[in-house]
Amino acid sequence: MADHTSIPGARTPDAPDAAPAAHEGISRRKLLGTAGATGLVLGAAGGAVGYTAAPSEATPLTSLGAGQAMFHGKHQPGITEGLQARGHLIAFDLTAGAGRKEAAALLRRWSETARRLMAGEAAKQDDTDVARDAGPSSLTVTFGFGHSFFARTGLEKQRPVSLDPLPDFSSDHLDKNRSNGDLWVQIGANDALVAFHALRAIQKDAGSAARIRWQMNGFNRSPGATAHPMTARNLMGQIDGTRNPKPSESDFDQRIFVPESPSKDPEWMANGSYAVVRRIRMLLDDWEQLSVKAQEDVIGRRKSDGAPLSGGGETTEMDLEKTDAQGNLVVPINAHARITRPDQNGGAAMLRRPFSYHDGFDTDGVPDAGLLFVCWQADPLRGFVTVQRKLDRGDALSKFIQHEASGLFAVPGGAAEGEYVGQGLLEG
């Protein structure tokens, strides 16, 4: 877990009720459009309105429900957006006999479903109505290709070098059945039913072309749960994400996205990114036995506000040379925040966009909980691998975590209007 930043948006009060609209049997898509035309007040995020369970009483969405991400664009959604309250990660393998043609048809179906659901519309086929009361709720659906996908589709020559398997690390305790996969889908939303609705639609769309390899569920703090927007906390209680690269930084794109040219990556990866996915279990019973001071020394930051132990506030630059009265470094030499700094790793950086998870308890009462770590970078060898190798050599946090599943996926750029994700690869 590296020391970077993400800030969720604040929630505003619900908008006032609107005049009755719609009739029995009207479609969700038509009702959304009709309600908008009659002058309903939108939530602060804007972009859509929804309806209640009673079709005769349309009411505007809250700001949480009205949030809408765009499917079409230069980059796929779900990379630069703020953290969402709910998430699902799911990997598929193509079925026996399914190849390039079937994969292309599947990505076409998936892209159309993602576009519709992200716009607050029903799925094209057999919609389950799970999300019929809700707006888009900042839903994002993101698609990627695993290393094995290219051999199964006869596209080995188009497989990026950057997709070579990750090396082994000392903290790995990997379950191969919950790692990798031909295809990967990331779903995020600020409403649990909206997220599940998308998950179910994607799974149904797979049809006979692909079968589920593994699936994981995660969560974050809901937007508006704090008095003001702030960096998220993880299940260790630490503010987690302070030094995340920001889109406003001049070198953000070159760190996170594959350039259009020149590039060592194939043309179809232009404006795409590489996602490293790790299920990182936190050994919470051991962690929680530490004093707050000991926990802060492990991380290198104050637990209360995320400020570096060298002083200041959360965003204050860490003073790596500062010592106490006894001459000891204030930020310990093996502190997690010290080791993961880009200036300690040749400028290596990655955009972290994780979800926490809790999958119950072992038979002895130990929580199976931790982080669904997802990080984005233009080059995983320079990003994740560089930092993880450094962590392997002496991170104080390593005693309290273990990596239990892993995956690396090539995530192509966004789809233009009328196109589907991965079209440049599958029809190039």
pLDDT tens, residue by residue, 78-93: 999 999 999 999 999 9
pLDDT tens, residue by residue, 129-180: 999 999 999 999 999 999 999 999 999 999 999 999 999 998 899 999 999 9
pLDDT tens, residue by residue, 398-426: 999 999 999 999 999 999 999 999 999 99
Whole-number mean pLDDT of the chain?
88
Given a cut of 70, whether residue 101 has pLDDT beyond it is yes
Active centre residues (catalytic): 240
Given a cut of 80, whether residue 253 has pLDDT beyond it is yes
DSSP labels for 120-176? TPPPSSS---TTTT---TT-EEEEEE-HHHHHHTT-GGG--GGGSPPPP-TTB---G
pLDDT of residue 9: 37
Mean predicted confidence (pLDDT) in 359-374:
97
Helices (H), 1-124: 28-37, 63-66, 100-118
Mean predicted confidence (pLDDT) in 337-362:
92
pLDDT of residue 346: 83
Q: Which residues contact 88 (CB under 8 A, 6 or more apart)?
A: 185, 186, 187, 188, 195, 196, 198, 199, 215, 216, 217, 218
pLDDT tens, residue by residue, 12-64: 333 333 333 333 343 444 334 433 333 333 333 333 333 334 444 555 666 88
Contact 43, 64 (CB under 8 A): yes
User: How far from 273 is each of 167, 405, 423, CA to CA, in Å?
Assistant: 19, 20, 16
| E strands, 324-426, in order | 351-352, 355-361, 367-377, 401-411
Mean predicted confidence (pLDDT) in 270-286:
98
pLDDT of residue 256: 97
**pLDDT tier at 370 (50, 70, 90 boundaries)?**
very high
Name the pTM for this structure.
Answer: 0.86
Alpha-carbon span 276 to 122, nearest angstrom: 31
Given a cut of 50, whether residue 393 has pLDDT beyond it is yes
Q: Are strands 210-219 and 367-377 parallel, antiparallel or unpaired?
A: unpaired
Mean predicted confidence (pLDDT) in 358-364:
96
pLDDT of residue 159: 98
Tell me what percent of the residues of the chain surpass a pLDDT of 70: 86
pLDDT of residue 199: 98
pLDDT of residue 334: 96
Mean predicted confidence (pLDDT) in 354-380:
97
Mean predicted confidence (pLDDT) in 326-331:
96
Mean predicted confidence (pLDDT) in 109-129:
96
Mean predicted confidence (pLDDT) in 232-261:
94
Range scoring the smallest mean pLDDT among 11-20, 103-112, 225-234 = 11-20
Contact 340, 334 (CB under 8 A): no
**pLDDT tier at 315 (50, 70, 90 boundaries)?**
very high
Alpha-carbon span 76 to 74, nearest angstrom: 7
Alpha-carbon span 12 to 394, nearest angstrom: 44
pLDDT tens, residue by residue, 171-227: 899 999 999 999 999 999 999 999 999 999 999 999 999 999 999 999 999 998 998
